[in-house]
Amino acid sequence: MDLKFNFIYIVEHDVKNFFKYKWWLAGLISMNIADIAILALIFNNIITRFQYFNFVLPGITVGALFASAFAIGREINMELRRMIHHYLLSLPISKNEIIFGRIISGGIRGVMYMSPFLIINIVYYYLLETTLNWNIILLSLVILSILSLGISSLSISMAASTKSFDLYVTLRGLFYFVLLFCSTIFYPIQILDTLPQPIPLIAMYNPVTHGTDILRSALTNKTPAIQNILYAIIFSTAFIIIGAIVYSKTIQRT
């Protein structure tokens, strides 16, 4: 058996595990569909300056990516509190393969869950007779996949650095709220700039903002801004490195 590819077993386990949370998934799907079918349509009829539905549909898609990739931290924290990682370390799988596998599986889960919403976006914009550039859409998908790995790693680092379940739940809720709502998922950056600091500052550097803007550009046949691509890649890479280091040190010392 080639140990270099044993991380695939970790990925397979985590991806299968994702679909065991049926009620959590049902709640998440219901929330995303409600955002599209209720929130987007209602605000589309209230806002007169631009088509809010067209604006928020890509945002909800990136929000779905964020929520599903972020969920891996809950399992990691539970495993560490119950010492299940000792069992993982006893398997003929190296520590680095375990870490690599967890980050990859979190990222894959984000992209998998996002995919149906991305298809809805593509079909919707196609029906609007928007000229779709498949090269740009493919580029945005690659960037969003990297972003999904970064969000997964951020969640893992947070889960691995908190021993208390109460503290973990508090931090998870705080990060979830800040990264999701201090971004351009639901509001244009011009609106966020009118709010008190640090909201505009967080929105400006929030990788979720840049992922959302990249998808919006791709669906409207515009090449994503280079600063959006760079910010998304740089922050995601930093999260991946930090997540790998924190998770490695935690499972090594406990």
Contacts of residue 155, defined as CB under 8 A and 6 or more positions apart, other chains included, come to: 69, 70, 71, 72, 73, 76, 106, 172, 243
Q: Are 48 and 170 in contact (CB under 8 A)?
A: no
Residue with tokens 């505009």: 200
Contact of 215 with 58, CB cutoff 8 Å: yes
> Span 9-17, mean pLDDT?
88
Q: Which of 148, 108, 136 is nearest to 233 (CA)?
A: 148
Asked whether the predicted pLDDT for residue 254 surpasses 80, the reply is no
Q: Note the residue count of the chain.
A: 254
Mean pLDDT across 106-119: 91
Q: Which residues are CB-neighbours of 19 under 8 A, at least 6 positions away?
A: 25
Distances (CA, A) of 104 to 7, 13, 26, 99: 9, 12, 23, 9
CB 143 within 8 A of CB 225: no
- What's the whole-model pTM score? 0.88
Residue 176 confidence (pLDDT) above 60: yes
pLDDT of 76 > 60? The answer is yes
Instruction: Let me know: does 184 contact 217? Beta carbons within 8 Å.
Output: no
Whether 124 has a pLDDT exceeding 50, the answer reads: yes
Does the pLDDT of residue 47 top 80, yes or no?
no
Task: Tell me how far apart the alpha carbons of residues 215 and 162 are, in angstroms, rounded to a whole number.
Answer: 33
125-130's contacts with Cβ under 8 Å and 24+ in sequence apart are 125/219, 125/220, 128/54, 130/219, 130/220, 130/221
Please tell me the least confidently modeled range out of 117-121, 145-149, 160-164, 250-254.
250-254
Longest dimension (CA), the chain: 62
Whose structure tokens read 């399992």?
75
- Percentage of residues of the chain with pLDDT beyond 70: 98
Mean pLDDT is highest, among 43-57, 154-168, 218-232, 233-247, for 233-247
- The first and second tokens of residue 147, run together, are 């972003």
DSSP state of 4: G
Angstrom distance (rounded) from CA 108 to CA 248: 20
